[in-house]
């Protein structure tokens, strides 16, 4: 079984400041990793994913994440946030061996302030 931990339930940050949203996972098998974003009153949108290759993954809207296998982490970063980045961010995993069930974290609410 897999589990995902997002320790920060809320992250306030000023506009144009950098941000890091933390994600750690636990799994007895290899996993693929994802970040989803949920804007207010909208659905889950895929931000980026790590399947293989370079551990630094770039996604939409200037976000990137780095897979660290030894630390079982997949932290999300953006060097300069915008007010429009205010949303809930979810980290998720799925076994590489196949499967149709994503395991999500509890989410991190990013609030960008002027």
Residue 43 interacting with other proteins (CB under 8 A):
yes
Binding region for other proteins (CB under 8 A) out of 13-21, 57-65, 69-77, 96-104: 96-104
Q: How distant, in Å, are the alpha carbons of 9, 94, 95, 102 from that of 1?
A: 23, 10, 9, 11
The interface mask with other proteins, positions 65-84, x = CB under 8 A, is: --------------------
Rounded-to-integer distance, Cα 11 and Cα 89, Å: 10
Rounded-to-integer distance, Cα 6 and Cα 22, Å: 6
Closer CB to other proteins, 41 or 70, in the complex:
41
Closest separation in Å from C-beta 73 to other proteins = 18
Contact call for residues 16 and 80 (beta carbons, < 8 A): yes
Closer CB to other proteins, 68 or 106, in the complex:
106
Q: How distant, in Å, are the alpha carbons of 20, 28, 64, 86 from that of 81?
A: 10, 35, 12, 9
Closer CB to other proteins, 78 or 105, in the complex:
105
**Which residues bind to other proteins, rule: CB under 8 A?**
4, 32, 36, 41-46, 49, 51, 90, 92, 94, 98-107
């Amino acid at each position: 079984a897999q589990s995902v931990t997002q320790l920060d339930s809320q992250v306030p940050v000023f506009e144009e400041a950098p941000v890091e949203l933390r994600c750690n996972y636990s799994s007895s098998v290899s996993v693929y990793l994802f970040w989803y974003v949920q804007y207010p009153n909208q659905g889950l949108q895929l931000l980026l994913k790590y399947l293989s290759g370079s551990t630094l993954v770039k996604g939409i809207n200037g976000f990137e994440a780095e897979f660290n296998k030894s630390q079982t982490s997949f932290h999300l970063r953006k060097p300069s946030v915008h007010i429009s980045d205010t949303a809930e961010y979810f980290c998720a995993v799925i076994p590489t061996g196949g499967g149709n069930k994503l395991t999500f974290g509890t989410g991190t609410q990013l609030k960008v302030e002027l």
